[in-house]
Structure 1
Amino acid sequence: MKEVVAVVRINMMNQTKQALTDCGVDAFFAHEAHGRGKGFVNPQILEGAEQGYEEAAALLGEKGKLYPKRLLTAVVEDSMVECVVDTIINTNQTGKPGDGKIFILPLLDAVRVRTGETGEKAIV
């Protein structure tokens, strides 16, 4: 079993949910999140600051600004990981900074509370 954690843009959530369902993943969690990448500076903001626009200059000073995102978590069988990762990439990839990140973590065990089932039986 693996836990797939993905950070995606908010405006891509509906498409991502549908694409994951189409891939065969009906169970996952979505959380509100805020974060930032390595410090990408929008060239339009930089140009505006150089031209003397105070609003643009103020935005450049927001090094600590966090952007709203969605954090998706899905626990899947090992055989589903490639489909899940490919689906998230294909749905969210624009080629621009901020498209997101995907993390794949090993999962030792899972337990279904209702029945006490463990392992992959607990997640299917």
Structure 2
Amino acid sequence: MKEVIAIVRMNRMNQTKKALVEAGITSMTAKEVLGRGKGIVDFSLLKGAEKGFEEAITQLGDSSRLIPKRMISIVVPDGLVEKVVSTLIRVNRTGKSGDGRIFVLQAKDSIRIRTGERGEAVLDEV
């Protein structure tokens, strides 16, 4: 069992939900987050800005701003990981900086609170 965490653009969320449902993945959690990727940061400007030099702050501009994104968490059986990942990539890849990230983590257990069921029995199965 794996947890797939994806950070995607806000404007791609509806297409992402639709594509996941069409792929048979109906269970997910999403929340609004703020973040940024590597980007291009001139560290000499950053040091100058930290020291309070107005010129450095002006040149740095908005490059250190945090960008609104959506974080999606999906726990699936091992056999569905590639389907989820390929769906996320297909829908969210624009080829431009800021398309997002996907992380795949091991999930130790899953429990349905209402019934007490455990393990993969509580997950989507396609």
Q: Which residue of 1 aligns with 2:120?
A: 120
Root-mean-square deviation (Å): 1.6
Q: Residues 93 and 23 (structure 1 numbering): CA distance in 2 closer, same or farther, change over 3 Å?
A: same
Q: Which residue of the partner structure matches residue 98 of structure 2?
A: 98
In 2, Cα distance between equivalents of 1:28 and 1:83: 14
Query: Given the alignment of the two structures, is residue 39 of structure 1 paired with residue 39 of structure 2, yes or no?
Result: yes
Q: Which runs of 5+ in 1 are unaligned?
A: 42-56
Match status 1:79 vs 2:79: yes
Structure 2 residue matching 1:89: 3-state secondary structure: helix
Q: Residue 116 of structure 1 aligns to a residue in which SS?
A: coil
- CA-to-aligned-CA distance 1:56-80 (integer Å, 9 cap, x gap): x947423431000000000111111
Report the equivalent of 1:23. 23
AA in 1 matched with 2:68: P
Determine helix, strand or coil for the equivalent of 1:38.
coil
Q: Distance in 2 between matches of 1:59 and 1:117?
A: 56
Structure 1 position 122, deviation (Å): 1.9
Q: Deviations over 1:61-113 (max 9, x none)?
A: 23431000000000111111000000000000011000000000000101111
1:9–1:59 Cα change, 3 Å: farther
Does the CA contact (< 8 Å) of 1:40 and 1:97 recur in 2?
A: no
| Secondary structure of 2:105's aligned partner | strand
In the superposition, the TM-score normalised over structure 2's length comes to 0.81
| CA distance in 1: counterparts of 2:37 and 2:79, whole angstroms | 30
State the AA in 2 paired with 1:108.
Answer: K
Large movers: runs of 4+ above 6 Å: none
How many residue pairs match? The answer is 109
Equivalent in the alignment of 1:50: none
**Bigger shift: residues 60-69 or 94-103:** 60-69
Q: How big is the shift at 1:123?
A: 1.9
